[in-house]
Structure 1
Amino acid sequence: MKGTFRDGTMGAIKVLSADSKQGVREFLTEINMIAEIEHENLVELCGCCVEGNHRILVYGYLENNSLAQTLLGGGHSSMQFSWDARRNICIGVAKGLAFLHEEVQPHIIHRDIKASNILLDKNLNPKISDFGLAKLFPDNMTHISTRVAGTTGYLAPEYAIRGQLTRKADIYSFGVLLLEIVSGRCNTNRRLPLSEQYLLERAWNKYESRELVELVDTAMGGEYDEEEAQKFLKIGLLCTQDIPKLRPSMSQVVKMLMGEEAVNDENISRPGLLSEFTALRGQKDNSGMISEGTGKGGNSSSSSENVTTSYATMTFNSIFDRSN
């Protein structure tokens, strides 16, 4: 939803599910954590509201919606993404994740990197959004054991199956996203023949047969750097390797994307394929989200189904005034 601040600027209002199991204290702690983080590739949090079981987040408004709605929207968007735009989006998201993983103290694992959580401003600069599932990751820990929360198609196998969460889970999700951006298609499309339904599996097969270029989005009409596009696809495969320790760090990913570090084909091994770990713990709701908690579809990143628009708009207008 959109709202207007008293100074006339626009804000984006997100109403969290009223079924969320997160307590108010934990919610406010999380909001304080996010509010203190500033980076050009992270969405700006302007404020929040907690009243009873209603929780509302207000972000800076971004004109071009999300990658899911534009690039991967299945023809519903008239926007055209050039190779330069896609390259900049990939690098921007990688920089934002590297900042969360390596520069923020304690480090932050986003846990839900996906196309719908990458928002675009008027110049198509990407902003990582939706920190509702984010976890703090202290330096003295090797992993966090937690219930699975995230979106099918982007979940790393070790996390989806065993609940072992590390920064490598975000890197896996980023690898899937990278493949989506270059190919212009969603990670899963059940309308396609079985051999083509899963993007990651298809990318691996094309890599093995040395036909990776066939994965590049034809919507660009051939106007792209073929070598660079294939390099980005290889980086996506590096990020999604089955063994977590073989995946690069996000700072390494940034360097590879920017051409500051070589992509060694010998380091690419078989990815953790979606088709081989679809029996996830928990129950998938209609949006593809795996719930943390009861496993009955409570979605902490859902929109306003459980809270009315009029309530959210009224609350927003009554508590937020950026002119003060």
Structure 2
Amino acid sequence: MLFICSYCFRTLCRSVNKISKDYPWEIYTLKELLRATNNFQQENKIGEGGFGSVYWGRTSKGIAVKRLKAMTAKAEMEFAVEVEVLGRVRHQNLLGLRGFYAGGDERLIVYDYMPNHSLLTHLHGQLASECLLDWPKRMRIAIGAAEGLLYLHHEANPHIIHRDIKASNVLLDTEFEAKVADFGFAKLIPEGVSHLTTRVKGTLGYLAPEYAMWGKVSESCDVYSFGILLLEIISARKPIEKLPGGVKRDIVQWVTPYFQKGIFDHIADPKLKGKFDLEQLKSVVMIAIKCTDSNAEKRPSMRDVVEWLKDAVGKKRIKEIPSLSDKNRDEENDKNDTDYDEIGIGKKPSKLRVPNQKYKIR
């Protein structure tokens, strides 16, 4: 089993080299990466998950190195898928591949280091209390992440479904530009195929109902996840919260009453202290509600979403977003409300001598 997987990995590596011949990929040796990460010491670790760990590396520009934890067939296949996808994409809002190393028992992927860490860090983590994300930054991050998804869905060949859109997988560069990351669960969609049925993978609170219940995955599943992310960006609330008595409430259920009553200012992150554009907020909430429609066929495409967001931030009137039947929506939410085991929660960040925020990875 492992031999077959390793063969597939080598095949994928050759494919990536062929696809990426026009791009400036760096060729790393194991010795170089060991030196950059101080032999993968604990003090250099900035993230840990089920299949591997991420280390900060000292180079002229700074790198992040993802190291496969164990040579299992499942882990190596996910690693190979990520290399395959990263070799196919090139967009300013996607975390690009700097290079990789595959030899012996080591599987290493090298990325650019993102000094402003993940969106999760700013919404719920170590930097949340500092509120470094003002309203304009949040809107720019939302549009950037949306444009990254638009590229995957409509411009990449073949089209790509990410399957794990969430706050920890949106990284921020020095200018707080969004970089969608972590393609280990991604699916390549052949020409003419509208959806696939597959094993469910993802994170609690972000999964579209049809995917979570039946494993039916399509581009609209990413749209749903992005809608959840959009609500999270403007409210700084988690996708799922526990209420007294152990009851769970998702962010759509939380926002719906405010949306119905038109109390939009209660939706915005209190840490913004009222410093946001109310008309933009109304438009963005409406876009998020459309993205999280329980009926996959009624969700917009990411092309529509990007256009609407740019119109909203440009303070243009958005005529294309139809109104919703809130009563019907509540009934659908109640019918489709399902609990799922959460995947991909990293360890609690600790202080490091190197850049000290942990990425959340699987």
Question: Contact conserved, 1:15 with 1:55, CA < 8 A, in 2?
Answer: yes
1:278 matched to 2:278? The reply is: no
The residue aligned with 2:217 is: 165
**SS of the residue 1:22 aligns to:** helix
Counterpart amino acid of residue 2 in structure 1? W
Structure 2 counterpart of 1:3, one-letter code: G
Superposed displacement of residue 60, structure 1 = 0.4
2: distance between equivalents of 1:127 and 1:58?
A: 15
Once the two structures are TM-superposed, the CA of residue 4 in structure 1 deviates from its matched residue by: 2.2
Task: Give the Cα–Cα distance (whole angstroms) in 2 for the partners of residues 29 and 103 of structure 1.
Answer: 19
Aligned in 2, Cα 1:86/1:263: closer, same or farther, shift over 3 Å?
farther
Residue 267 to residue 175, structure 1, CA distance change in 2 (3 Å): same
C-alpha contact (below 8 Å) 1:24/1:50 kept by paired residues: no
Q: Confirm or deny that 1:92 pairs with 2:144.
A: yes
Structure 2 distance, partners of 1:275, 1:2, is 45
Q: Please give the alpha-carbon distance, in whole angstroms, between the structure 2 residues aligned to 1:56 and 1:173.
A: 28
- Residue 50 of structure 1 aligns to a residue whose secondary structure is strand
Percent of aligned pairs sharing the same letter:
35
Matched residues in 2 for 1:20 and 1:161: separation?
27
Partner residue of 1:144?
A: 196
Which protein is bigger by CA-based radius of gyration?
2
Scaled by the length of structure 2, the TM-score of the pair is 0.71
CA distance in 1, matches of 2:185, 2:290: 25
Cα distance 1:141–1:36, how it changes in 2: closer, same or farther (>3 A)? closer
> Amino acid of the residue matched to residue 176 of structure 1?
I
The answer (yes or no) to whether the contact 1:239–1:248 under 8 Å persists in 2 is: yes
The aligned counterpart of 1:216 is 268
Amino acid at match of 1:278: T
8 A contact 2:135–2:272 mirrored in 1: yes
Letter in 2 for 1:264: I
Q: Does residue 257 of structure 1 match 2:319?
A: no
Amino acid at match of 2:273: G
Rounded to whole Å, the distance in 1 between the matches of 2:101 and 2:93 is 24
1:236 to 275, 288, 293: 288
Between the two structures, name the one with larger relative contact order (CA 8 Å, sep ≥ 6). 1
- 1:123 is aligned with what amino acid? E
Query: Where do 5+ consecutive residues of structure 2 fail to align?
Result: 1-54, 348-362
Q: Distance in 2 between matches of 1:202 and 1:25?
A: 38
Q: Distance in 2 between matches of 1:196 and 1:230?
A: 26
CA contact (8 A) 2:68 2:106 kept: yes
**Counterparts in 2 of 1:29-178, with a 5 A limit?**
30-51=82-103, 54-73=106-125, 78-178=130-230
Cα distance, 1:57 vs structure 2: 1.6
| Partner Cα distance (2:235, 2:281) in 1 | 9
* Matched letter for residue 147 of structure 1: R
Paired residues, what number? 285
Q: How far apart are the structure 2 equivalents of 1:76 and 1:275? A: 34
What is the TM-score of this pair, normalised by structure 1?
A: 0.79
Task: For structure 1, list consecutive stretches of 5 or more residues without a partner in the other structure.
Answer: 290-298, 304-324
Equivalent-residue separation in structure 2 for 1:189 and 1:277 (angstroms): 14
Residue 4, structure 1, aligned to residue 58, structure 2? yes
String of CA shifts for 1:90-134, please: whole Å, max 9, x gaps. Answer: 000000000000000100000000000000011111000000111
Q: Secondary structure of 2:185's partner? A: coil
Q: Distance in 2 between matches of 1:78 and 1:235?
A: 27
Deviation at 1:263, TM superposition (A): 4.9
Q: Which has the higher helix share?
A: 2
